[in-house]
Structure 1
Amino acid sequence: MITIAFLHTSNVHIERFENLVKKFDKNIQTKHYVNEKLLNYALKNSQLDSEGFKKELQNIKKINPNLIICTCSTYGEECDNSNDIKRIDFPITNYLVSKYKKIALVYTASSTERVSSNLIQRIANDKNKEIEILICDCSESWIHFENNNFEKYEKTIASKIKKVATKADVVFLAQASMEGVKKHLLNLGIEIFSSPEFGIKNYLNK
């Protein structure tokens, strides 16, 4: 049986990714590892806990999963430094850079902005393509996520997105936690993408 192990930085992601895997393949076994300290460290210190990330990865590797996926965008560059773990945001970012020029990058965790911008630019450079990144800073909404007020989290993000959407070709929700924002932007006028479903579908080759 195929086993996928997930590294999350919040418990709220477990159900979302469990359901996504089962949506595409009910026969895949999943294991979920949560380390909230990794993201807390990054937010507090404005740098990554590289050693903590490596230790967590080594711990996950003990079960010998077929695939390990990190669902935290902030630690995407740590994933790039290892052949053992995939970042959930690479497939969707690669798609967006291929198809669009003006990408509205939406984030709530300040630690994500640099990492996601770097990924967009790196892929654009590889494709020899000019890309314009429109920053949509929704960091003021992060407190609602920390307080488990997910409806307010999503609605305040949606409000910010409406202001930048008129200048963009597409909206990219850079963090898995923002998936629910889509339902508040059904008539946005441009497409809005997030990493979870696109990433899982890609990594499962579905």
Structure 2
Amino acid sequence: MIAFLHTSKIHINRFEELLKSIDNNIPTKHFVNEEILESAITNGKTDSGAFKKQIDLIKKDNPSLIICTCSTFGEESDKYDNVFRIDRPIVQYIVSKFDRIGLVYAASSTREISTNLLVQTSKQLNKEIEIISCDCSEHWVHFTKGNQSEYEAQIANAIKSIEKQVDVIFLAQASMEGAKNFLHNFTKEVVSSPEYGVKQILRCI
């Protein structure tokens, strides 16, 4: 069984459908903890104790592996065996292929974590990169209020403003994936973590 840890219930169907499209025979279970992300945004740092408590709870179900779909908790995930952060595979792809990376985030707690992963990966690959941040935190309120379409549309508008400065757009949070639908005639590749991440992580089974 694969266990998913989300910080919003909106991700359950997306990741369930994604996994089934890859392998319909793998059982899944989804856990949602919105409070840990809310705390990270409010306090400016992740609560390691609360995250560990959640992981310990999930492990009681004896999953083959745990996939954390929230980028904010990527570094917390790295502390545990068999807990995989959804964004590592796509970041490895991005850094290996592109030089000027547009880092798009809406949850303020994600910026530092995603930046760290990009920098660490570039060092591992001995590759120089430039990170151009696209702060969409003012639009996070749309997500919290359940207005997903407005959230995605506003993120897309922000992305257009950095189109000429970057070689690729990295949507650092899984919740942003739908912004691609609002980027008509966009000239740069736009990547997100869910599909690529799940495919690569499944190779660990």
RMSD: 1.0
Q: What letter is aligned with 1:167? A: Q
Deviation at 1:186, TM superposition (A): 3.4
2:201 counterpart residue number: 203
Partners of 2:195 and 2:72 in 1: CA distance: 18
Q: Tell me which residue corresponds to 1:103.
A: 101
Figure out how many residues of one structure are paired with residues of the other and give that number: 204
Q: Which amino acid aligns with 1:40?
A: E
Alignment of 1:1-206 (within 5 A): 3-205=1-203
For residue 204 of structure 1, report the CA deviation from its aligned partner.
1.9
CA distance in 2, matches of 1:149, 1:53: 27
Identity of aligned residues (%): 54
Helix, strand or coil: the match of 1:110?
Answer: coil
Once residues 83 and 7 of structure 1 are traced to their aligned partners in structure 2, the CA distance between those partners, rounded to angstroms, is 15
Q: Conserved in 1, the CA contact under 8 Å of 2:64 and 2:82?
A: no
- Give the AA of the match of 2:194: P
Gaps of 5+ in 1: none
The alignment partner of 2:66 has SS state of strand
Shift of 1:205: 3.2
Report deviation, 1:34. Answer: 0.4
Query: 1 CA distance for matches of 2:182 and 2:97?
Result: 24
Which letter maps to 1:25? D
Confirm or deny: 8 A CA contact 2:39 2:47 kept in the other structure.
yes
Aligned-partner Cα distance in 2 for 1:186–1:91: 26
SS in structure 2 of the partner of residue 130 of structure 1: coil
Distance 1:196 1:70 in 2: 11
1:50-74 deviation line (CA, Å, top 9, x unaligned): 0000010011011111110000000
Determine helix, strand or coil for the equivalent of 1:65: coil
Letter in 2 for 1:64: N
Gaps of 5+ in 2: none
Distance 1:98 1:18 in 2: 29
> Which amino acid counterpart does residue 149 of structure 2 have in structure 1?
E
